[in-house]
Amino acid sequence: MSELSKQHQMIRDAAREFAKQHIEPIAAEFDEAGEFPIETVRGLGEQGLMGVSVAPEYGGAGMDALAYVLALIEISKVDAAHGTIMSVNNSLYGAPLEMYGTEQQKQKYLTPVASGEKIGAFSLTEPMSGSDAGTMKSRAVLSEDGSHYVINGTKSWVSNAPYADFIVLYTLTDPEQKHRGVTAFIIDTTVAGFARGKKEPKLGIRASATSEILFENYRCPVEDRLGEEGQGFKIAMTTLDGGRIGIAAQAVGIAEAALEASIAYARDREAFGQKIGQFQMIQQKLADMKTRVEAARLLTYSAAHKKNAASPGDGSYALEASMAKLYASEAATWVANQAIQVHGGMGYSKEMPLERYYRDAKITEIYEGTSEIQRMVISRALTGLR
Ligand code: COS
């Protein structure tokens, strides 16, 4: 893999510095409280990290997919919950707005979010529609005069929703057409007819807020429809292709943090008259952890390179994105588990961050497409069979 450019090193170092100075001191406390860290999230915006790949004319930092990956690894290494908030804002909200938005939509709905002044979210999942994303029940009906859509229904597991100002919503305009009847809309959460439901009590990434959202006769002006009627499923899929690279980066960050803690502990902790890093059983763990972290990193960088070479939304990096997410997420959970074992009782204690890494890693195998869905996408790309 080629050396990182000066610009890439700069964003990586800036993200690392910000995370160390501002996020590390509060991460455990916000995890324990399950509280959204609004001040440091605003700080991420000031650093240009809430719209890394969005063009500067729309409030972003105008950098490429690798820069985004490098920054997200550093933030997630210190706190994966901040990583989630950042990745939703960047990949799941900013990217589809930039790819499919009209000029007016970008000015109004992308600029304030990419600059970090406002927060964005993405809503595809419903209580009875997760992996099988085309089976949603919520509806948008065009008014008789054609000026607006009336939206009704319940969406679930919406990351950032409790704090989001705007949400890209996927809902059905033509239920007969199944996934081809899905349309995307930009939702303003201050408008009547929108409400937030219960906040999910979660195992990990507890500082990132997740909730249901409810629509009751929400009136969405036609100019806030994103893309064409029926184009929503494609918008969601191409958005997730990019998002999955972000989740892979988040997983690399968590795994790297768990590995580094384990190396330090193996060098320091003594048992039976020697450092535990001198025992072959610990050496094997560290060697396998490091190898998986580097393999995950290279797959993630490779997916980012492929995305950089692609045209927006062309789906040409779906395979690489799925492989990176699949491998990195499973590596993160495995590495975090080994890290607890290396630390023994201390790994199980909330006095150290190992148990948090383990809890946080698990979600990367689930959201933005479970490992089972990634394997399906990869296999379909290989054989062309369904
Ligand atoms: N890019 C562009 N288009 C894509 C695409 C991609 N990556 N993946 C699928 N499509 C298109 C297909 O080309 C097909 O188009 P046509 O209607 O023109 O034929 C359409 O989308 C439907 O594809 P398919 O028939 O493969 O849909 P399936 O429902 O069988 O499966 C999967 C699609 C499983 C890949 C999809 O539903 C998925 O990713 N599910 C997981 C959803 C998810 O990640 N949820 C988490 C949300 S964030 S918490």
**Domain end position, chosen among 92, 118, 144:** 118
Q: Is the pLDDT of residue 181 over 80?
A: yes
**Dist. CA 33 → ligand 1 center (Å):** 36
Assessment of whether the complete model's pTM goes beyond 0.85: yes
Domain count of the chain?
Answer: 3
CA–CA dist 353, 29 (Å, integer): 11
**Model pLDDT, residue 2:** 59
**Model pLDDT, residue 1:** 54
Considering the domain architecture, whether residues 36 and 89 belong to the same structural domain is answered as yes
Q: Tell me the pLDDT tens digit for each residue of 22-73.
A: 999 999 999 999 999 999 999 999 999 999 999 999 999 999 999 999 999 9
Q: Tell me the pLDDT tens digit for each residue of 287-331.
A: 999 999 999 999 999 999 999 999 988 989 999 999 999 999 999
**Domain end position, chosen among 118, 134, 151:** 118
**Model pLDDT, residue 268:** 98
Q: Is the pLDDT of residue 265 over 80?
A: yes
Per-residue pLDDT band for 148 (boundaries 50, 70, 90) equals very high
Considering the domain architecture, whether residues 19 and 60 belong to the same structural domain is answered as yes
- Residue 235 beta carbon below 6 angstroms from any ligand 1 atom: no
Q: Is the pLDDT of residue 273 over 80?
A: yes
Considering the domain architecture, whether residues 194 and 242 belong to the same structural domain is answered as no
Average pLDDT, the chain: 97
Q: What is the CATH number of the domain that holds 164?
A: 2.40.110.10
In a domain, 252, yes or no: yes
Considering the domain architecture, whether residues 198 and 275 belong to the same structural domain is answered as no
**Model pLDDT, residue 248:** 99
Mean pLDDT of 141-166: 98
Mean pLDDT of 186-191: 98
Q: What is the CATH number of the domain that holds 301?
A: 1.20.140.10
Q: Is the pLDDT of residue 226 over 80?
A: yes
In a domain, 155, yes or no: yes
Per-residue pLDDT band for 341 (boundaries 50, 70, 90) equals very high
Q: Is the pLDDT of residue 340 over 60?
A: yes
Considering the domain architecture, whether residues 151 and 285 belong to the same structural domain is answered as no
Considering the domain architecture, whether residues 105 and 194 belong to the same structural domain is answered as no
Considering the domain architecture, whether residues 379 and 239 belong to the same structural domain is answered as yes
In a domain, 1, yes or no: no
In a domain, 134, yes or no: yes
Name the closest-CA residue to atom 48, ligand 1: 368
Domain range for 327 is: 234-383
**Dist. CA 233 → ligand 1 center (Å):** 7
Considering the domain architecture, whether residues 89 and 67 belong to the same structural domain is answered as yes
**Domain end position, chosen among 175, 202, 232:** 232
Choose one of 92, 128, 237, 379 to mutate for the ligand 1 pocket test, by most ligand atoms within 8 angstroms of C-beta. Answer: 237
Mean pLDDT of 202-221: 98
**Model pLDDT, residue 245:** 98
Residues designated catalytic: 368
Mean pLDDT of 120-130: 96
Considering the domain architecture, whether residues 225 and 249 belong to the same structural domain is answered as no
Considering the domain architecture, whether residues 239 and 378 belong to the same structural domain is answered as yes
**Model pLDDT, residue 315:** 87
Considering the domain architecture, whether residues 347 and 366 belong to the same structural domain is answered as yes
CA–CA dist 373, 384 (Å, integer): 15
